[in-house]
Structure 1
């Protein structure tokens, strides 16, 4: 899956991104960390080669260059880097202004917004005891509500900018403001999985009253940086078919 961005004359270090393939062995698979790195590189406009890796048929050359390594990972001038958090820091260092955007959030709280959602979701979706379902669902709703409140509460600097332009629009589109940052690369892939899987296997919908979350998702689904790096809903459902425990009667 080659991704060519930028101008031919702008020669850059060789950067390759490897992400897990989906059930068909070719499409992007369900790995929020994979999408996180893919989104960061896309947002920065970095020239790279992106490839999906079918773990059942891992290419021989990849076995040699990155033995025992599972995607996502990158190679930078043929040097393998595997730790997602360290890769994120590395990309901020080497793909920096003035040529590239910095994606660090302005507001520290944006880095932790929604951080508990995926853990609560995992406990909810893996549960097989009917008597525990209600309590686990309440726990998930509580974390979603906290994120919704954050998304509906403009940060001070953004509020000042918004008020300068208009008094009628007091919310922002993404976690840290009106542009995507590293915080969105971390949160959005997980939130997409929560929405798809909870509906499929628990008939649970994120409440429509959580306007901040739905605005956030709607804006994300309108952006190529998200949709073109995102596994399909069907792929996510397949990936969770064995994980989502059936509730026993």
Structure 2
């Protein structure tokens, strides 16, 4: 799909970094993401947040101009194959791994590919175990909790603010949005909360909540819940939980029990 057609189908521009009409086209990137359940606001896709975070980190050390636009897929489903979609010059990329590779090749700094084998190993299965739990493939949270404890032990031994260093890396941009989904969706659908005694996990989340880029790119609790509520394999959200979130303005769970 062409960039012009994507732009015509857009619902709402939600972020522009220092837009400058005199800027070279090489420095202009647009990220199209799935809109929330209201058809306009920023939706709860963790992959979209991952790409959004990477773009903003790159923009801090370059002249990269980032524009993020939501798309109402309920109205335009026939026109879109996959979201998020990255548009740069005449390129339209819809595969997330290809997007990350493309961003790294075109804006090399800062280098986010900080390899830490153990960090990658202890985060590998957390989200899949969460998915099994929330979709009721697993009968309880034990497997997810075991993976969270593995991460917690690593973080307690880790000397850095984030998984691999004191700066956000590609691995953090992958893991942190998923941890936020685990926190918010597990509470809403399963009345499960990350145990307070997991000090390593909570310190890691606090570092994320203190980071402007994470806060700017994080969807509201309501949109995270809507993201999971739209999946047919999930049990329906209880009426009292629906009412609780519907009656409040957009909420962001950025508090920590520390």
Partner of 2:157: 153
1:101 lines up with 2:105 in the alignment:
no
Q: TM-score, normalised by structure 1?
A: 0.79
Q: Alignment RMSD, CA only?
A: 2.3
CA contact (8 A) 1:113 1:175 kept: no
2:119 equivalent among 110, 119, 124? 110
Please give the secondary structure, in 2, of the residue aligned with 1:240: helix
Q: How many residues align?
A: 217
Larger RCO (CA under 8 A, 6+ residues apart): 1
Instruction: Please tell me whether the aligned partners of residues 186 and 192 of structure 2 are also in contact (alpha carbons under 8 angstroms).
Output: yes
Deviations 1:144-173 (A, max 9, x none): 01111121222xxxxxxxxxxxxxxxx322
- Answering whether residue 29 of structure 2 is matched by residue 15 of structure 1, we say yes
Deviations 1:45-104 (A, max 9, x none): 131221011102339xxx8xxx542210101103111110111111111101xxx31111
Deviation string, structure 1 residues 158-200 (Cα, Å, up to 9, x no partner): xxxxxxxxxxxxx322111211110011111111000001111
1:2–1:237 CA distance, 2 compared to 1 (3 A): closer
- Contact 1:12–1:47 (CA<8 Å) still a contact in 2? no
1:44 maps to 2:58: yes
For structure 1, list consecutive stretches of 5 or more residues without a partner in the other structure. 155-170
Q: 2:192 is matched with which residue: 204, 211, 231?
A: 204
CA distance 1:246–1:53, shift in 2 (3 Å): closer
Gaps of 5+ in 2: 1-13, 238-258
Aligned to 2:134: 125
